[in-house]
Amino acid sequence: MFPEPTESPGSVTTTLDTVSTVFLVITTSRFCDDVYNELSKDALLRAQLESKENLVNDKIKHGFVTSGPTKKPAARLVGEPINPLKGRTSRNPRDTTLVQCWCHECTNAFLSNGVRYHHGRLIVPLTGSYNLYSSLSLRGINSSEEHGSLLNGTFFKHAIYRYNVKNGHDVELVSSVQPPLSANRAFSTPLLRLEHLHAGEEISVKISGIFERHVCTEDDFFGLHMI
């Protein structure tokens, strides 16, 4: 029988050190791999975000991206010579008359992207900022001396109003006051206003000091568009 080989204490210690070193190397390598993967993911995410941000900025510069809807509400009504306007001669600017001689189906008139027209009023479909505009040049249908004398001293007021169901009444947004030009042409003035409106609100045009013998003309217009 041959004697069994024996290991000296020194060789055991060397073996343990080697095992510990290998374990440390493997653990360190895995840790480095994990850190590298996390850093890579983070760098990739930042690159993607920067790429998207640059793309959006580029589109904004070229006008492809807006803060509002792609199809913005708009409307334009034109004057339609119909029956004489209802109203009376008055020097009180509070005696207003709603202008209803508008046509939304005539040439150069339209309602688009949800705007509705009802009895002289435009109803806003979306909340947002709108340009409101109106121009009146009323024509007299009686140019007699009596008619002219009735107009003397009368000031005509042309105004755009806003109606909200919660308030329950019309609120004046912008107006213009001036004397009549003549018995045949009672009023001529443009109005323009930028206003933030809420969905469901109604916009209308009113006049005061108007005489009953006046009608709208084809040159009159009233409208709005979302910006």
The reported pTM is 0.64
Q: Mean pLDDT in runs of 10 for the chain (227 residues)?
A: 53 56 58 59 65 53 50 94 69 76 91 95 96 88 55 76 89 87 69 96 88 79 96
pLDDT at 139: 77
Number of H helices and E strands in the chain, helices first, is: 2, 14
pLDDT at position 202? 97
- Model pLDDT, residue 63: 43
78: helix, coil or strand?
strand
Q: What is the pLDDT of residue 102?
A: 93
| Amino acid sitting at position 111 | L
The pLDDT score that the predictor gives to residue 175 is: 93
Structure confidence at residue 61 (pLDDT): 45
In order of 11, 47, 98, 112, 177, the CA distances from 224 in angstroms are 95, 43, 17, 10, 21
